[in-house]
Every structure is written in C-alpha cells, then in structure tokens.
Structure 1
C-alpha cells in the first residue's frame, strides 16, 4: 500500500454514513445536461464549484467564458460559494444529483472524497498527449497520486514568500543587494527594521510579522532544518534535527522583531496596516496591500539550517463521480481543464490572478507585466503542502502544533526537547486510530 493510499484511505472526517450517502450516486444533475450532439442540440453543461471571490475568481470566470466562446460542444457554468459551504453541501449535492462535475479543493480535503469514491480518476486526462500535461510542474502534480493514478489537476499552487513594504525598505536604505538568503539574515534584517519608542516594550513597527498559529508554519520551519512532522504517514516530530531547529528558532525569536501567538490573518493585518515591514504569505496579499495603499515587493523564503522550504497554498481541480458518470460531461470537463491550463490561459492566470503558472514552459518574458509573479514562479519548486501524508486527525494535529509553535516562539512551556517529546506522543495518539 502506498503512502498516499494509506493517507487517503484513513482521512479524517469521513464516516460510513458519508459512504452510504454516495451509494449509487444516481442523480440527474449532469445527465440532465445532455448536449454536444445531444437530442436537443444544446451544448453539454459542465457544472463547476469553487470558492474564489476576489480577482482570482474573476479570472476563472473570464477563462470559462473564453472556453465557452471557443467551441459549441460544452458550456461551463460556475457556482461560487464560500469554501466552508462547499465542504458542507458537496456530498449531499452529489447524492441528490445537483452537485458539481468539477470542484476545486485542496489535497487533504480531496483525500477523503477519493476514498468515498466521490472523486474520479483523471489518469486518462494525463495519458492524452493533446492535453499537454507534460508541461505541468511535476512537483505539483505528484500530490494528487492515489494508488498509482492521478486524480487532481493543478489549479492554483502558490509558494509563500516574504513580502515587504517598499517605502519602509527605501527609508531604511535597503536594496535588493540586502535581500536575505538565510533565515538568520532575515532575522537580522527584521531587527534592523523594527521601530520602538523609548521605554515601550511593544514595537511601533515590527520588522517581520509571522502567523505562528498557522497550520503550515511549524512544518515549514522543521523542513527547512532537515526534519518534519510526518514522513510516510508516521509521526517523526521527536527527532534530533527538530530539537536543533526549534532551539535555533526560539533563540532567534527573542530578538523582539515580531509578535507571537497570532494567526495568519493577524500577521497580514499588521503588514497591511503599516505596522510590520515584512510578512510571510502567498501572492494574494498583493491586492490587499494595494487596497491599503502599500506598495509591496517580494523575495523568496530564505534557507533554514539545512535547506530552503516554504509553504504552498494549493488548490486543484477534481472530477466528481457525478461528472464522470456521463461520458459527454466527462469529456467536457477534461476539455475545460486542458483549456484552463493551456499556455495562453496560464499566462492570463498568472498576470491577472497573481498565481504562478501551472506550466513550466511559460517564460519570465511572458510574465514581465507582473514582475512579482515572474520572480515568484521559480520558487514553486521549494514549496510543499504541509502534512501531506498525515493519516487523518488533521484538525487536532494542527491544534497541537499551534500550541507547540507558540511555546517555542514565546520561550514558555519548558525546554525544546521536552516540548517535542510531549507533542510527539499526543500526535501519535491522535493519528494511531487512522493508521
């Protein structure tokens, strides 16, 4: 049994009741959209669900509109819902036959749906040379493999990087030549940018705001030090590499350059409010900063003690069992996926939605109109999905890691080795029932 298979087979949050929910999956949502050579002569409708509500969502709609105009066989219809609403309604909608044919989800969420046979394999899509899947970033594609077959198609895969306030950098005389290549250099730069009033303990402006209560934060730091939280489905938190990394991290955090015990939204909020010179986040921060009147720059997440590693914000397209049931709908779904990841569409996706392209054959010159994304695209190779092989219990695992992270950063809770041992034992208790 492959690691990915074990992870997906045991994903948390899906019960036997969910499996029964999909039994038969005999709804009429897709089959009711007879088209492309259908008896009524109308195009086959492909129903799509996603949760993007900002500029990225508008670009998805624009690409869908272009796809619809490019041919007469298929019609993509998009329904936008908040991500939590999609999670709540997806299984019931599939059972009733009113669900989507294509849906956007992360790898961890998709794992359970695949086990319950709510998502169908897209291996034939990858096997068709006409779809140009050989141009896709293989590092990104590999996360969707289940028992030797590929189920997901790249949608939006963005590395976290360091975003900075250009005005603050200019005022401090910081140029590209000063951009840090290691975390230690970044800490030094953050201390240089921190502004404190005399006698005040809390800085007026932090040099760097990090969401240390974020599920991708601690795994990323450990990976940069040569360790991890989980490997091949097994908890490996209590290791010499991790002790060394977190002791180094605790020591660095005592410089007072950043707050502790905050989530990602709060960390970014400090940045967009002009209360932090730098933050660590995905490319969507650019639009928020622009709205706040802040001109931003970006550079790659620096190297840790052993290597460069950063978090990936990752979403994929998934074909549902409902979409796969009707051959015309399945063909239309795959035609749209190929169109979305075509060369032309991916240039547009990168330039307008602020996501690195999913293809490796798009040049920096083609992205020149969006220099931030042009610079970010090569960073994808160092971006990893946190806890990708975790065998269930992700919510409880993340809660324990958040607590550990805050205890490390704040210097509370005891010595690093003891904290790691205690957390390791708790994580194993959480995931053992799923193994």
Structure 2
C-alpha cells in the first residue's frame, strides 16, 4: 500500500518569503576560510538533540567524516529538543545558529514556510549522493511544491514487540505470529492471564494507549480512511466509524488495559505485565535495561492493508549557510547516508537504515533491526499535513479514543470530534 500525501504547501507565505530575504541578508555563515579554496577548513555547525545511543553514533560519524578529509569540519552541538525549538529561529536570524539541524517533517515545513530552511535539490540532483536508494515515501514527506527540503536522518517504524518468554510458555511460535487484526486480538486474548477471574488481569495480552490518540490515525489508514485528507477533515466517514466500531468491539475481550498513555503501556510491557505492545526501536535499549527478552513483528494488517506510524527526523539546511558551508553540509550528508555509515547507524542506534539497498544480513548481530527493515515501507508519519494546532487536535482524538475503548456511541462522538478538529484547523487557514 503506497502512502498518500495528505497535504501540499501550494505557495510560500508572504511572511515566509520576507523572512527568507531577511535571513539571507543577515547570514554570515560559519566559513573559517575563504570559499575560493585557500586551503583552510570550512566549519559546518550542526545541532541535534539525541543523547542516547543514536546521538553517540551521529557524533561518531561526524568525527569519522572529519578525519576522512580536511576541507570541512563538522561541529556538533547537542541541545535538548525544546531548547533547539526556542533557539533556532532567533539564532539563524542572527547568523549564529546551525547550518544543519535535525527536525521532524511537520516542524521542518513550518520553518521552510518562514524561510529558515532552504531547498536541498542540489543534493538530490548529485548522483554521487545515491539518493535513489532512499525510501520514496520518506523523501516525499519533505518535498514541498516540487522542491526537496531535507535529507532522511532517522526513520523508525512502530512495530509490535513481544515478551519471548510469555510466547514460549504459551507455545506461540513464529508460524503463529499474527498478520491480521483478527489474529492479533485473538492472540492477545490467549495471552491474557486473569488467575482469579475478577476481570482485572495480572498479565494483559496487549497494552495499547487509549488515553491519547497515538494509534488512531494509522488504524484508520489501515481501515482505508484518514483523519485529514486533501485539506479536509475526513474523520466522520462511515468507513472510519466502521473501523472504530471494530476496535470498540475488540476491546470487549478484556485483553488490554484502558485509560493509559503510551509511556504507561510501554511500562506495563517492560514490567512483564503485558505480553505485547507497539512502540519504536528505542524499546530495544529499554528492554535491555530491565533484562527483558523481546522480539518483534510488523503491525498486523487492517481491512485495507498494513499501516503503522513512524518516528521520523530529517537533516535540514538553514538559510544562514553560505555556498561553501552548504557544500560541507552536503558532503557530510553524503557520508552519513553512505552504505557503510548506514550499516553502522543501524547496528548502533537500532533504527533501520535510510537506504533500501541494505539487507538484514548486512546488519549482522542486530537481528531486530534486520527484521524492522521490511516494516519501513508501511510506516507513515502520524497526522502528516495537518496545518498547526496539533496539540489541540491530539486532545480531541484522545477523547474519541477513550470512547472507542471504554464504550460509547461512536457515530455522534466521531462527528463531534470531526467538527472540533475542523474548528481548530480553521484557525490556521
């Protein structure tokens, strides 16, 4: 199932164009030598917010790139993500921000609208960069008005992670791994343990968050619908209501807790109180920290196919970068997404590689990542294209989700939520 782009930016906002001109005028770059190739090294300032294994391998690749040549120097500054958000616009405006920065797609499009980020078409047009190996739908998320604005950095699909000991005790083998929603819920019911029959299981078969709307958009996609499509709220269609009704009926099996958030669902899994959960590849280090043996399979298919969300970050070039600094940024990104670098990235960060030409066998001793390679094709950025107001939209979807899991009349609840979401989004037109 190929993903559909839910939103396209038709034109740059006038304010964004003005901002771009202002930023270009005040940009000083970070070139420590002259751009005429006087033998000095050009420094490229890089900001990201990764502080775990993923951050370590980014920094390692930057150091290896620096050692591999003497024309450019990648200078990495690690800041908390909220600090980057607060500092990015004023820093780039003053010409002392990053030349290259990591941001998600939606935030990146907003900065592009303001002129903070600039197109990277030259990177994609250079055959040496091997961008034909990138997943098309991953690049599509950062293609606006035909211009390619960013380069894939980390794209992690949400998958179903399970407790291998619980599966083994229940006699569940690889042949029993579910491929459809129906099989998945049947398995969750089989793995649920309620020893005293009081309706409060000691072990749930599957822990999913229902106190937030985390998976609602991708469940609707797998059912053939969407929250938002082609600039319109499409939540309250009969098809979507049918999908939500299926999940409401499924929850009557008492295989999962209700009124929990995504972190709480993951905590139940890590504590051995749930046999399965759905999360991104960072669960690998979380499970290791508590001595939990786990394995993974792809999100089972809904009526219209497989759809799961992705945690996605990209490299963006800022408008403060001059010609020489931009050349250094592109050289680093070529190195970062090169075949061997992406093998290292996958092995050390536990994210699947950004390239389609790396096989599970090449990942070596990281079997989970090798398995997740195939999951990338069906993983999508949640609520992509919704213009602003995401916090408020999430709150509305979370309320609807509790109606799904805890009982309630879905048709009027879905219509009410659709109207609320449309009202929120109208503020950003």
Is the TM-score greater than 0.5? Answer: yes
Match of 1:378 in 2: 374
- CA apart distance, 1:194: 1.2
- CA–CA distance in structure 2, aligned partners of residues 67 and 35 of structure 1: 21
- The correspondence for 1:205, drawn from 203, 207, 219, is 203
- CA distance in 2 between counterparts of 1:198 and 1:310 reads 35
Determine if the alignment matches structure 1 residue 420 to structure 2 residue 418.
no
Q: Give 1:357's aligned residue.
A: 353
| Distance in 2 separating the partners of 1:216 and 1:205 | 22
Q: Distance in 2 between matches of 1:160 and 1:366?
A: 22
1:283 to partner: Cα distance: 0.8
How many Å separate the matches in 2 of 1:69 and 1:24?
32
Q: Separation in 2 of the partners of 1:124 and 1:148?
A: 13
CA distance in 2, matches of 1:66, 1:36: 23
Instruction: From the superposition, tell whether residues 33 and 195 of structure 1 become closer, same or farther in structure 2 (CA, over 3 Å).
Output: farther
CA contact (8 A) 1:234 1:390 kept: no
Q: 1: distance between equivalents of 2:20 and 2:198?
A: 58
Distance 1:431 1:383 in 2: 25
* Partner SS state of residue 48, structure 1: strand
Distance of 1:29 and 1:301 partners within structure 2: 47
Asked if 1:405 is matched to 2:405, the reply is no
- Which residue pairs with 1:179 in the alignment? 177
Aligned-residue Cα RMSD (Å) equals 2.2
Alignment match, 1:52: 50
Q: Aligned to 2:353, what secondary structure does the other structure show? A: coil
The alignment of Structure 1 onto Structure 2 pairs a total of residues equal to 425
Contact 2:210 2:398 in 1 (8 A): yes
1:145 aligns with 2:143: yes
**Distance between the aligned counterparts of 1:351 and 1:7, measured in 2?**
39
Answer yes or no: is the 8 Å Cα contact 1:162–1:278 preserved in 2: yes
SS of alignment partner, residue 75 of structure 1:
strand
Q: TM-score, normalised on structure 2?
A: 0.94
Q: Please state if 1:30 is matched with 2:24.
A: no
1:90 maps to 88
Maintained 8 Å contact 1:165/1:297? yes
Please state whether the residue corresponding to 2:320 is helix, strand or coil.
Answer: helix
Report the Cα offset of residue 195 of structure 1: 1.5
Residue of structure 2 equivalent to 1:388: 384
Aligned to 1:431: 425
| TM-superposition CA deviations, 1:360-416 (whole Å, max 9, x none) | 1112221232111111101111101111121222111111011111111111xx311
Deviation at residue 35 of structure 1 after TM alignment:
6.2
CA deviation map 1:40-92 (0-9, x unaligned): x4311111111111111111111111111110001111111111111111111
2:238 to 231, 237, 240: 240
Cα pair 1:207 1:258 within 8 Å, conserved: yes
Equivalent in the alignment of 1:294: 292
Quote the offset at 1:18 in angstroms. Answer: 12
Where does structure 1 lack aligned partners over 5 or more consecutive residues?
Answer: none
Separation in 2 of the partners of 1:274 and 1:239?
A: 38
Structure 1, residues 307-351: CA drift from partner, whole Å, max 9, x if none? 11101111111001112xx11100000001111000010111111
Give the Cα–Cα distance (whole angstroms) in 1 for the partners of residues 23 and 311 of structure 2: 34
Instruction: Tell me the equivalent position of 2:257.
Output: 259
- Unmatched segments (≥5 aa) in structure 2: none
Shift in alpha-carbon separation, 1:121–1:402, aligned structure 2, 3 A: same
